[in-house]
């Protein structure tokens, strides 16, 4: 029987399980206690002192780390508490770059919101010395501006615990403390995997994506270039949040319409590239399975995961699928197959990808993801950057009529759209692999065993006479645990899916910011994934090999999956990376 604790919070009687914090108990009672350093399931350290409460003890306690006890009488909203919080907030502001209007997090900054909530508008009471830092802009994906850092350590917890990368941490003591990489190096010179989970965790503008919107605007204004765009599956599950729509609202039709209004010549869909990926990756897996190839085969769609593997687990590089990621495959097809069909010189085509992921910016620059001297993808913008472009263009996104993607490289199946959720690549692959191996039609295409937000999921799937053991991991800390179990011989699998970010692409480092308070109320991973599964259910075709435009691509251009031309255009190689640059 569960051990329950009874307490009173602001006069409200509350009963919660033992071990619950006062912050969690207050939330259950409908009482919001302000927080800054707290981030559910990631950072609970009581450092910022914004969540202090009065329990009758000699000193106020931090609600995020204070466990409940029987008979506890908690006050969260006394004049002394409010004044103490204001003092703490003003002290933070005294060493903070307060240029809010030109900050990327203006109106989504938790520090700014707390100032509004607590009525803090006097920032000179503790005026004195301020630390100033150079902005680190060397990474292709992430900008770090310590002038806006409040030392909450949420980014440190995300990097160390969620991702098991650990390339940032507190350095120095007292007033001189800052968050930085070892030996003062740039993020570009350490083993950062560019995933952007530090950005998603940051409450201020201390971390943000490397902005590419000006480059994209310049491309759109260049009449000598054919500028085409492709949005990833996960973008449609989150973009609406930037315009006040409920989390988990699919906005596929509005997304296509908005991109067209921004001026792109063609609006294709990375879901098509996902279907193409399944054809190549599924065929590669069948070949390894039947011909004694390296197993387990591990998916290669997530660039953060790929860089993590190259850096921290290089012995697993032979296990990686040689397939490029979906948007890179689509970029290659745009500059070859589509260019040939349209009679356009590939040198005059520019491909822009809209991604939920900051690591895609790094990926697009990899020299091996090119053909005939041309990068497969020219520019990558995140979901947040696209939202800023839509707002800058004055487009009324919420009231846009739904439109379809352009044909040829815009038609997709349900298998393509679920790529954005953890387990989606595995499920899409199994739908095709099963039918290709057995020749039979799947009666039920939903492989629910690989769905959900557990850190590691396992399943055994009967494919003809063979039992295929599969595993799914999301977040590189979970990937590390899974790989360690394979390396030690504890686990044996045939096929593994890894996504670099928790929940997969739906909560990538480039998705709309979700505040700490909102994370206490809902699970973005589950809500956004549900939007993708809903779209999958509504698709007339739900298996990649049934996509008629993919079939036409092989019939008229590539020949067959894993053909010589397919390998030339759609596959790549990987290499071990040093953890630090010399």
Q: Which of 368, 454, 521, 568 is catalytic?
A: 368
Active site residue 360: yes
Active site residue 501: no
Ordered by start, the domain boundaries in the chain are 4-93, 122-206, 214-570
Strand pairing category for 178-180 and 169-171: antiparallel
- Return the residue matching tokens 């917890």: 157
The domain defined by 4-93 carries CATH number 3.30.70.360: no
Active site residue 363: yes
Residues of the chain scoring pLDDT < 70: 1, 581-582
Q: Which of 141, 300, 302, 321 is catalytic?
A: 321
C-alpha–C-alpha distance, residues 398 and 253, integer Å:
11
> What is the structure's pLDDT at 582?
53
Q: Record the tokens describing residue 36, joined without a space.
A: 């800054």
Backbone torsion region of residue 528, taken as left when φ is above 0, otherwise alpha when ψ lies between -120 and 50, otherwise beta: alpha
Q: Which CATH number fits domain 214-570: 3.40.50.1780, 1.10.10.10, 3.40.50.300, 3.90.1170.50?
A: 3.40.50.1780
pLDDT tens-place string over residues 468-503: 999 999 999 999 999 999 999 999 999 999 999 999
Active site residue 280: no
Q: Which of 301, 309, 357, 501 is catalytic?
A: 301
CA 324 to chain centre: 18
> What is the structure's pLDDT at 123?
76
3-class secondary structure, 133? coil
pLDDT tens-place string over residues 258-289: 999 999 999 999 999 999 999 999 999 999 99
Q: Which of 254, 324, 335, 360 is catalytic?
A: 360
Q: Which of 385, 435, 505, 535 is catalytic?
A: 505
Active site residue 83: no
> What is the structure's pLDDT at 1?
53
Q: Is 418 exposed, middle or buried (0-12, 13-18, 19+ CB in 10 A)?
A: buried
3-class secondary structure, 28? helix
> What is the structure's pLDDT at 581?
67
C-alpha–C-alpha distance, residues 550 and 564, integer Å:
17
Do residues 270 and 231 lie in contact, with contact meaning Cβ atoms separated by under 8 Å? yes
Q: Which of 284, 379, 427, 435 is catalytic?
A: 284
Q: Which of 328, 330, 363, 411 is catalytic?
A: 363
Name the CATH topology of 122-206: Alpha-Beta Plaits (3.30.70)
Active site residue 281: yes
Q: Which of 24, 281, 497, 535 is catalytic?
A: 281
φ and ψ of 28, to 5 deg: -65, -35
Active site residue 48: no
> What is the structure's pLDDT at 82?
96
pLDDT tens-place string over residues 50-80: 999 999 999 999 999 999 999 999 999 999 9
Active site residue 321: yes
């Amino acid at each position: 029987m569960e051990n329950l604790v009874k307490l009173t919070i602001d006069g409200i009687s509350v009963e919660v399980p033992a071990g619950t914090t006062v912050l969690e108990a207050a939330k259950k009672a409908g009482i919001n206690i302000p927080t800054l350093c707290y981030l559910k399931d990631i950072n609970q350290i009581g450092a910022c002192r914004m969540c202090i409460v009065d329990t009758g003890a000699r000193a106020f306690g931090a609600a995020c780390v204070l466990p409940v006890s029987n008979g506890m009488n908690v006050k969260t909203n006394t004049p002394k508490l409010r004044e103490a919080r204001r003092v703490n907030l003003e002290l933070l502001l005294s060493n903070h770059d307060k240029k809010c209007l030109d900050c990327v997090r203006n109106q989504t900054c938790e520090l700014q919101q707390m100032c509004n909530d607590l009525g803090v508008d006097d920032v000179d009471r503790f005026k004195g010395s301020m630390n100033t830092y150079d902005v680190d802009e060397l990474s292709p994906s992430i900008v770090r501006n310590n002038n806006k850092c409040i030392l909450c350590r949420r980014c440190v917890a995300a990097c160390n615990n969620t991702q098991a990368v650990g390339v940032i941490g507190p350095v120095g003591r007292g007033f001189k403390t800052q968050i930085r990489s070892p030996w003062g190096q740039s993020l570009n010179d350490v083993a950062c995997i560019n995933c952007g989970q530090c950005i998603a965790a940051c409450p201020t503008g201390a971390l943000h994506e490397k902005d590419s919107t000006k480059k994209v605007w310049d491309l759109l204004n260049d009449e000598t270039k054919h500028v085409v765009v492709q949005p990833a599956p996960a973008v449609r599950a989150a973009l609406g949040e930037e315009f006040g729509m409920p989390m988990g609202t699919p906005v596929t039709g509005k997304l296509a319409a908005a991109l067209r209004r921004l001026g792109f010549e063609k609006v294709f869909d990375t879901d098509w590239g996902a279907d193409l990926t399944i054809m190549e990756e599924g065929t590669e897996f069948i070949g390894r399975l039947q011909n004694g190839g390296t197993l387990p085969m591990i998916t290669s769609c997530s660039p953060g995961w790929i860089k993590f593997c190259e850096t921290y687990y290089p012995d697993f590089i032979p296990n990686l699928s040689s397939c490029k990621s979906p948007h890179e495959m689509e970029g290659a097809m745009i500059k070859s197959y589509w260019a040939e069909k349209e009679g356009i010189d590939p040198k005059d085509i520019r491909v822009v990808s809209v991604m939920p992921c900051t690591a895609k910016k790094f990926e697009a620059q990899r020299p091996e993801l090119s053909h005939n001297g041309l990068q497969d993808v020219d520019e990558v913008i995140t979901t947040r950057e696209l939202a800023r472009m839509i707002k800058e263009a004055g487009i009324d996104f919420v009231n846009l009529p739904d439109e379809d993607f352009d044909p040829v490289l815009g038609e997709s199946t349900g298998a393509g759209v679920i790529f954005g959720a953890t387990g989606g690549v595995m499920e899409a692959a199994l739908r095709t692999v099963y039918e290709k191996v057995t020749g039979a039609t799947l009666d039920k295409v939903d492989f629910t065993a690989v769905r959900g937000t557990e850190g590691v999921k396992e399943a055994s799937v009967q494919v003809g006479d063979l039992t295929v053991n599969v595993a799914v991991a999301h977040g590189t800390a979970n990937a590390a645990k899974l790989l360690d179990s394979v390396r030690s011989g504890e686990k044996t699998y045939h096929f593994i899916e890894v996504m670099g970010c928790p929940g997969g692409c739906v909560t990538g480092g480039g998705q709309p910011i979700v505040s700490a308070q909102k994370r206490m109320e809902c699970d973005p991973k589950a809500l956004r994934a549900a939007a993708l599964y809903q779209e999958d259910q509504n698709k007339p075709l739900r298996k990649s090999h049934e996509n008629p435009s993919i079939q036409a691509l092989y019939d008229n251009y590539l020949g067959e999956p894993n053909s010589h031309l397919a390998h030339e255009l759609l596959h790549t190689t990987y290499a071990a990376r040093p953890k630090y640059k010399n």
